[in-house]
Structure 1
Amino acid sequence: MFSSLRSRILLILLIAIIPPVLVIAAIAWDSYGSARAAKLSSLSHDAELLASRMDAVPLGASRLAMTISELTALAGTDSETCGRNLGVLIDNYPGYDSIAVYDGGTRLCDVHRRSAAPATSFAPIATIDDLAEGEVRTKIVQSGAEGGVFWLAARAEDSRRSVAVTMSRSYLAELLDVYRVFPSSRAVLVDGQSSPIVMGRTSPEPGMWPADLPLEVGIGLRTARFAGNAYIFTIYKLRSFDVWLVTANLETDILAEPRQQLLVSAVAPMLMLLTALFAIWLGLNGAVLRWVLALQEANRSHARDGGPTSTSVDPRAPREFLDIAASFDTLTGELAKRNADLEREITEKRNYLRELHHRVKNNLQVIASLLALQKRALSPEHRQILRFPEDRVNAMSAVYRTTYADSETGAVQIGPMIREVIHRLQDVAGASRNAFELTVEGEGRRVALDTAVPIAMLMAEILPDYLDAAVHSGVPVSVRCIGDAAGLAIEIVGDPGVQPRSFKLSRRFVEAYLRQLGATLTETEPGRVSIVCPLDAEADKPRLVKIGGVV
């Protein structure tokens, strides 16, 4: 997959950016975690600040009640003076709905805002009678879906008077409306059963507060889903009442800034890293790879064409590549000269070999001619003595004549060689060509000269008896040769009477040639001989065979 130089460089660059990518990702994630923790801490701080403002209302009420209980002159001694003075206090403190003063178990006076319901604005007398000196008592009455009334009663030290103050629910609701950290911010006061008792204009829809929210002492954070959205809730118990302040904010609003920070802290360095990687890749491609590819193309052109190749390298290329290109040009030039010298030497050697084969052919033809002249000078009964060497010299001469006529020195085509050998043997035997039938398949099959000579000599040992029989009996001789990639098959069919006198004196030569060729000879029936000779790469190699003790 990564076999080319370009792909390996790309792989190295990709591997090189993995560590910084991991470091950047770790730093970005740590930064996101810190920003998220800071946002949640800020959210808790805002909720705690709102709770402290709401706790300030009963705290101020307890101080006011203690002051009225302790200072008799502030409330006066009669109900009219008491009502007038308390009315001034109600008008100046919007956090209270009503104030009542009790003297020894008897209500001295009371005042309340018009918006407050008189029947539920004051603490019951039974809960005020048993107040001890210096005691402050708080309570919520009529809690539930309709809301609740928050009141506080206090009695100063060494005082017979008790003062009850009712907190304004509308004022508490206004404080809830102030809580607007995000557009999705919501706040509500709930009781111990998680039921809303004070809701502002921005308080959430009914049922938004999960009933299973744990009401803890102190600040708590919880995440829950409502209407398909994730909300983060803060739960904080007020110090003065058994009431919990619950706030809700969309998780997407709270974590928008940390997520944006994560995106910026991760994506921006990644983009810079990828930009640097791309710049490095362009630099490597322009400064290194393009020149490497140019040298590669020149090398391919040289290997494809085989001739001298000059690398066309831009002079603006790095000096090292110019040196490589110059060295390559020098090398290809030297190789071209060496190839020319080798081709010239091969041509000369081929010519020398052809000349050698030509002279061998001529010498063999001279020998054959001398044998023929000598044979004619002998009587008919003595001519057979020279017939044996004449046939073999003619067979060998036919092989060298065929290879000389072919441009491939050292290789012989089977078809022309077989024809030449048979025609010469026919001339020596005096057999008519009409009495001979030759069929050759695969004439273009070539064999080495060292293989062609044993084949020709084997034909010279077998065919003369068939040709002599054809001269005397008139039975034609049929020779069929099939040459293919696997080997050579020769089938000779002639006079059945030739069998008793075949292979008389030349049997040792026939067996030697068969061993040299790795061939087999089969006499299927009288007058029919089959020779199968493998011509594969191993069988076509020259062999040295001893014939009568001579190699």
Structure 2
Amino acid sequence: MRLARFPTVRGRLLALLVAIAFPIACLTALAALTTYNTVIAAIEIAQARTADDFAVRTRVWHRGALRVLLSSGELIATSDATTQTCGAEARRMLDRIPGYLAVLYRLADGRTCFAATDPALTETGMTEIAAGLTRMPRSVSRSQIQLPPARFDKVRIGGSDHLVTQVALDGDPVLRDALLLSDPDLLDQVFELGGASDGVNVALVSGKDTVVMHRGEGRQDDLSWLPDESTFPTDGRRWEARSRAGHKRSYAARLVSAPDLYVIASFSNAPERAARMQFLALLVAPILTLILLCLVYLRAIDQHCVKWLRGIEAAARARSGQPNVRAVIADDMPSDIRSVAEAFNTMVEEQEVRQRRLQTALDDNRFLVRELHHRVKNSLQVVQSYIGLKKRDYRDEARLALADAETRVHVLSAAYRFTLADGEMQPVRVDLFIEDVVTMITNLVRNRDQWVSSRLETEATLSVDRIIPLGFLLVDIASRVLRSTPGVSLTINVRDIDATTLEVALEADRAIPVSEPPKMFAGLVAQIEAVQVEKPEGRSLGSWRISHGA
């Protein structure tokens, strides 16, 4: 995983946690699913084995009873006992085998042999039972050692249930048929060997409705737990169905003896529900643990990392408005972040020291610049005064030249006076400066019959480096016109073209012959950064546009 894709520390740490937790969650889910399938398979195997155990023991018991019936009948048939004497032999056999109650043999030679341990069991009743069972389907042994087809069932005589084993031997030269009644306790002991637990019902069922033997919940004659189906799967598989009572249960059926003697085992769904709950617990608990771990991890990141980083960031951003802000340093800060915060505060303190030193140096420089400009302004005033005094000693051209020089010196002096009006260097108001220059031109350069005026419609400002050449330009044009044209009147027009541009134009009250400006005139225009929009012609002495920013 490329953590560089995530821009923040929190995002990268969270991505790293997810990269670790996601495989763990997948493995946990796989382990929980495997455990669930294993438990369900074990439950199914255990339930199938329960049905198999009861079926195997029931088959063994019935085949044992069938073998006893066949062997004892063969012995009686081959003996020379009469109908009256064979009953005693059969009775001795019943006395030796507890649980066998009555037996009836009908031999091929017409002899009948009957014996019973219970007086309620009569030969006539036994004959009727044998006749009824003869008409019913018989079970065929599915083992390799074939036994004759027999009928296993349950009958009720005198209010008591009896187990019946009946065999018919068609074409046998010795024994035609035999019938054995036994006590249900014998089979009950067989069923007891298989055991049963809560929610389990096991029964030997004959003909789908007759419960021969029952172990589990409910009464012996309670059939509500049986599946509500007409046929049972005989392939050994376990299936789920609704019982006759309407409840969903699991079943396993085993054919004990064909065609309709089954062992039916019914199981509640409690083990499956418990397995599902275990699966959910194995799945959800680790995932919830991982989620809780993520939440705790995120909170730890916020509390022990992001919180302090944001504090340093907030202190850095707040310094633009609050210079004295410092990063918070607390005792519970992580040592590495604490080291970063201390380094940040140290850097801030060093920066403040440098700023104070720079500010001190800047203040000193400003003071020196102000003093320098004051000295320049005072020196210019001294020069201007000296020129004014010296001008009195001359006449004609020399006087005019000194007056022209005095005017230019005044331009310099006025520019420095305006730019240092508040003790600091600042831009100069164009209208105030030009008004002062026009006054000086009027006082020093014009003759009595000449006039110089101004029309100022601007509040723009220019730096001292641009206002001085502008003053020189105006003095130069006015001086040349006033010297060459007696009685002329000049007007200096200054107006705003837009918010960032002003226009300076000069015009006379009459047409003035155009004369070539001195070479330094172009240099003055370049210093002002002015653009000439109208050349001198007729009354116009020229027009220039100057950009002043705002």
Partners of 1:494 and 1:528 within 8 A in 2:
yes
Structure 1 position 31 matched with structure 2 position 55: no
Partners of 1:470 and 1:495 within 8 A in 2:
no
Partners of 1:216 and 1:235 within 8 A in 2:
yes
Counterpart selection for 1:412 from 410, 416, 427: 427
In 2, distance between residues paired with 1:127 and 1:41?
Answer: 31
Structure 1 position 66 matched with structure 2 position 70: yes
Partners of 2:252 and 2:265 within 8 A in 1:
yes
Structure 1 position 523 matched with structure 2 position 534: yes
Query: Which ranges in structure 2 are unaligned for 5 or more consecutive residues?
Result: 115-120, 140-144, 154-162, 212-220
Structure 1 position 480 matched with structure 2 position 492: no
Of residues 42-51 and 377-386 in structure 1, the stretch that sits farther from structure 2 once superposed is: 377-386
In 1, distance between residues paired with 2:205 and 2:541?
Answer: 123
Give the structure 2 partner of residue 78 of structure 1: 83
Letter in 2 for 1:136: P
Letter in 2 for 1:103: L
In 1, distance between residues paired with 2:264 and 2:427?
Answer: 108
Partners of 1:176 and 1:188 within 8 A in 2:
no
Matches within 5 A, 1:125-524: 135-138=147-150, 153=167, 160-165=174-179, 183=199, 196=208, 198=210, 201-204=222-225, 208-209=228-229, 215-217=233-235, 219-222=236-239, 232-238=250-256, 240-241=258-259, 247=265, 249=267, 251=269, 253-270=270-287, 304-307=321-324, 309=326, 312-314=329-331, 330-370=346-386, 379=395, 385=401, 392-406=408-422, 409=425, 411-413=426-428, 416-430=429-443, 435-441=453-459, 443=460, 449-453=464-468, 457=472, 477-481=492-496, 484=499, 487-490=500-503, 492=505, 494-495=507-508, 497=510, 501=513, 504-506=516-518, 511-512=522-523, 515=526, 519-523=530-534
How far does residue 402 in structure 1 lie from its aligned partner after superposition?
Answer: 2.7
**Structure 1 pair 288/513, CA: closer, same or farther in 2 (3 Å)?**
same
How far does residue 220 in structure 1 lie from its aligned partner after superposition?
Answer: 1.3
How far does residue 116 in structure 1 lie from its aligned partner after superposition?
Answer: 12
Structure 1 position 123 matched with structure 2 position 123: no
In 1, distance between residues paired with 2:475 and 2:127?
Answer: 144
How far does residue 26 in structure 1 lie from its aligned partner after superposition?
Answer: 3.0
TM-score by length of 2: 0.67
Partners of 1:32 and 1:258 within 8 A in 2:
yes
Give the structure 2 partner of residue 545 of structure 1: none
In 2, distance between residues paired with 1:242 and 1:6?
Answer: 72
**Structure 1 pair 308/157, CA: closer, same or farther in 2 (3 Å)?**
same
Letter in 1 for 2:34: D
> Max radius of gyration: which structure?
2
**Structure 1 pair 348/275, CA: closer, same or farther in 2 (3 Å)?**
same
Structure 1 position 48 matched with structure 2 position 47: no
**Structure 1 pair 511/475, CA: closer, same or farther in 2 (3 Å)?**
closer
In the comparison of the two structures, how many residue pairs are matched?
A: 503
Partners of 1:477 and 1:495 within 8 A in 2:
no
Deviations 1:308-342 (A, max 9, x none): 8585533x766666666665555444333222211
How far does residue 102 in structure 1 lie from its aligned partner after superposition?
Answer: 3.2
How far does residue 136 in structure 1 lie from its aligned partner after superposition?
Answer: 1.1
In 2, distance between residues paired with 1:105 and 1:408?
Answer: 153
Question: Helix, strand or coil: the match of 2:458?
Answer: strand
Give the structure 2 partner of residue 104 of structure 1: 108
How far does residue 114 in structure 1 lie from its aligned partner after superposition?
Answer: 8.2
How far does residue 504 in structure 1 lie from its aligned partner after superposition?
Answer: 4.0
